[in-house]
Amino acid sequence: MIDVVLDCIIFDLQASGGVSRYWVNLIFGLAQLPEPPRLHLLIAEDANSESARQVIELARRNSALELYPYESRLLERIRQPEIPKDLAARAVFHSSYHRSAARMPNVLTVHDFTYEERAGGWRAFAQHWQKSQAIGRSSTVVCVSESTRQDFRRRFPAYRQSPVEVIHHGVEPHFAPDPNPASGLRDQPEYVLFVGRRDPYKNFWLVVEAVKQLGTLMLTIVGPPLSIDEQTRLDLEIRGRYSIRSHVDDVQLVNLYRNAFALAFPSRYEGFGFPVIEAMACGCPVVALNISSIPEVAGDAAILLDADAPELLVAALEDIRSVGAREALVRRGMAQAARFSWADAAAKYFALYAKLSSSGASA
């Protein structure tokens, strides 16, 4: 049986988010394989996020999983984890976020280059330095999209000839259309949905401008609480026509997708783009930019804009008012979402672990 050490450092770094979602689903997917590996989970003693609790509960119920609690040290995120020598001698190491382990085959997953591409400054420097350290110690690099692999090749030219695998994320089964819709497809649902952070590259205010021009539609925002400045500006632009949902669970998010007029996702940069595939799986039409990883994830199942111009977003949303256009988007979206499975992702990671385990490659 293959032994894999899974480093859950991501639970120290975020209470929730795309990487935490990926990590939980990968662990569950690996545990559900017909012949699962032995999973040894490094997890902080005080880990208490919802994601961490899910993983801890799974480990308590599944004998193939073993918890290795650790006490977080100063700058734990950049330290090499302490792994028992007997385990290190036989296992493959895979960190959830840019750490590496000595004397073991290492797998590194690169999610994106958001800090480098969009933030800049010391955060971009720190992120790039940590990635560089982990890449240099890794036996294999995995990227979550072909777009991210291209970014990796560009930013790390020394590794252009090195093997880099692409393993897409999946979508959870509960992201699905309403099994009992009241009256089939809706002609004009009430709101445009915006999901995620509102950093400048996410183009939130582009969506606000489009909704402003479409007077019959509301805007539902799923993401961090509004700042005073954001609320003031929203009241100036679309007073009484927006709502904010800052703390939603998956049941609530699925319901929001199912009942939305469309998801507007005009982000200029994504490593993968979870909201695109989640919305499609729920039968929600998607309008996004034709850039970064989005066309790779969306395929021909979304309206992809060639520029982040309000008039283009308005025209796309107007097109969705057509019942025929809407039905076609929904149909293609559900077919596209079905291509992304956590079971498939887990099987590909397992094959990678097995290859490294048999080769004995070490950092």
- Residues 219-261: tens digit of each pLDDT: 999 999 999 999 999 999 999 999 999 989 999 999 999 999 9
Domains 3-170+341-359 and 191-337 agree in fold: yes
Q: How far apart are CA 48 and CA 53, in angstroms?
A: 6
| Dist CA 131 CA 176 (whole Å) | 35
**pLDDT higher than threshold 80 for residue 18:** yes
Over 70: is that where the pLDDT of 76 sits? yes
pLDDT at 184: 44
Cβ density class 299-331: b for 16+ within 10 Å, e for less: bebbbbbeeeebebbbebbeebeeeeebeebbe
Sign of CA dihedral 202, 204, 209, 215: positive
Q: What is the mean pLDDT of residues 138-154?
A: 95
191-337 maps to CATH 3.40.50.2000: yes
Is-contact 186 284, C-beta < 8 A? no
Residue 128 above 90 pLDDT? no
Q: pLDDT band at residue 186, thresholds of 50, 70 and 90?
A: low
Checking if the pLDDT of 66 tops 80, the result is yes
Report whether pLDDT(181) > 80.
Answer: no
How buried is residue 184: exposed, middle or buried, by Cβ count under 10 Å (0-12/13-18/19+)?
exposed
Residue 185 binned pLDDT confidence (cut-offs 50, 70, 90): very low
Arithmetic mean of pLDDT, 13-17: 86
Q: Can you tell me the distance from the alpha carbon of 64 to that of 36, in angstroms, rounded to the nearest whole number?
A: 7
Confidence (pLDDT) at 67:
95
Tell me the torsion sign for CA atoms 215, 320, 185, 332.
negative
- pTM assigned to the model: 0.93
Q: What is the mean pLDDT of residues 64-72?
A: 91
pLDDT band at 180; cut points 50, 70, 90: confident
Domain boundaries, the chain: 3-170+341-359, 191-337
Please give the pLDDT value at position 200. 95
Q: Mean pLDDT lowest for which of 102-106, 120-124, 127-131, 216-220?
A: 120-124
Question: What mean pLDDT is predicted for residues 207-223?
Answer: 96
Instruction: Give the span between the Cα atoms of 337 and 331, in whole angstroms.
Output: 10
Confidence of residue 277 (pLDDT cuts 50, 70, 90): very high
- Name which of 229, 211, 119 is nearest 221 in CA terms: 211
**More reliable by pLDDT, 48 or 168:** 168
User: What is the overall mean pLDDT for the chain?
Assistant: 93
Confidence tier at 347 by pLDDT (50, 70, 90): very high
Q: Report the pLDDT averaged over residues 79-87.
A: 90
Per-residue pLDDT for 192 more than 80?
A: yes
Residue 183 has pLDDT above 60, yes or no: no
353 pLDDT higher than 50: yes
**From the centroid of its chain, how far is CA 239?**
31
Q: What is the mean pLDDT of residues 82-88?
A: 92
- Please report the pLDDT score of residue 118 as a whole number: 82
Q: Tell me yes or no: is domain 3-170+341-359 CATH 3.40.50.2000.
A: yes
